[in-house]
Amino acid sequence: MADTSASKHSSPAGLPIAGFALLAAVTVFWGVNWPGMKIVLGEISPWWFRTICLAIGGGALLTISGLSGNRLRVPAGDLWPLLACGVFNMVGWHLFSAYGLTLVPAGRASIIAFTMPVWAALFAVPVLRERVSLAVFAGLGLGMAGLGVLIGHDIAVLGSAPVGSLIMLGAALSWGFGTVLFKRFQWQTPVATIIGWQLLLAAIPVGIGALALEPFPDLVSLSTSAIIAFAYVLAFPMVFCQWAYFKIVSMFPAVYAAIGVMAVPVIGVYSSLLLLGEPVSWREIVALVLVCSAIFMVLILPKLRS
């Protein structure tokens, strides 16, 4: 059963070290995920890409959960919360982010998507009644300043090609609300089982959309780079990170969990430079300093003080 008692903490000083280890792993794996997805989406259409990701990710998580001794049956009390969270965390996030990534560079897409912590922090106030401390406000301000440095240069894009940026913003809103909604419910089911079923069930409507809108991809003709990138996306972001992120959400207050992944777009930008040749300017460097300062202020400084 997911432990939701962490929401009562006003600082991360008493939170488990395991949560910080998971947070670090998720940050790295999700950061590298963005250029990986960009490579795959160059050869597979968004609907089929997400259908395959959701189906394999969900099936793998349920298999791992079952082999770990967890029950796979979902109690009646968890069914509707599972479906509601799945709409935002899985269907909305995965479709919007895949389509947005086909229209904007991978580094920039990750930056817009990871405005999610702001939306999660705002949604958490009315939905979870979480109190936001001065340190959290300062951390959010620093983190958003870092994102603003990067996004500000691309504001002109909203005038000439708004679709990609707006779709990525929709992904951030969907994920932010889904994160808070997941935290809202008292789950009786293990996290791995919950997320596995959310992924697998989300594959049904997305798969129907794929059948209706796009031809089945020729997987045999995929390039070597696309195969490697696809294997990475399935193993780490779709299986490990999906489980780990919501495990983090169950351990940390929603706002801390959200702020903790604000370094993902920075890693996304630099990994896109290395893997795709996307340029890095002074904006990325300033953003790195601001985002890391936000993480230090909210997650690390309180532990040092304690």
- pLDDT for the residue numbered 212: 95
User: Bigger pLDDT: 105 or 234?
Assistant: 234
Going by pLDDT thresholds of 50, 70 and 90, the confidence category of residue 85 is: very high
**Is the confidence at residue 8, as pLDDT, over 50?**
no
40, amino acid identity: V
Per-residue pLDDT of 259-290, as tens digits, reads 777 778 889 888 999 999 988 778 778 877 88
Rounded distance, CA 51 to CA 130, Å?
A: 35
**Is the confidence at residue 231, as pLDDT, over 80?**
yes
Per-residue pLDDT of 153-194, as tens digits, reads 666 555 555 678 789 989 999 999 998 999 899 999 998 999
**Is the confidence at residue 42, as pLDDT, over 80?**
yes
H helix count then E strand count, the chain: 16, 0
Per-residue pLDDT of 243-262, as tens digits, reads 888 888 888 776 677 677 77
Beta strands in the chain, from DSSP E residues, in sequence order: none
**Is the confidence at residue 10, as pLDDT, over 60?**
no
- pLDDT for the residue numbered 290: 85
User: Bigger pLDDT: 131 or 181?
Assistant: 181
Cα dihedral sign, 200-203-208-214: negative
CA angle centred on 39, ends 34 and 42, rounded to 5°: 125
- In order, the DSSP letters of 48-110 are HHHHHHHHHHHHHHHHHHHHTT---PPPHHHHHHHHHHHIIIIIIHHHHHHHHHTTS-HHHHH
**Is the confidence at residue 49, as pLDDT, over 60?**
yes
**Mean pLDDT score across all residues of the chain:** 85
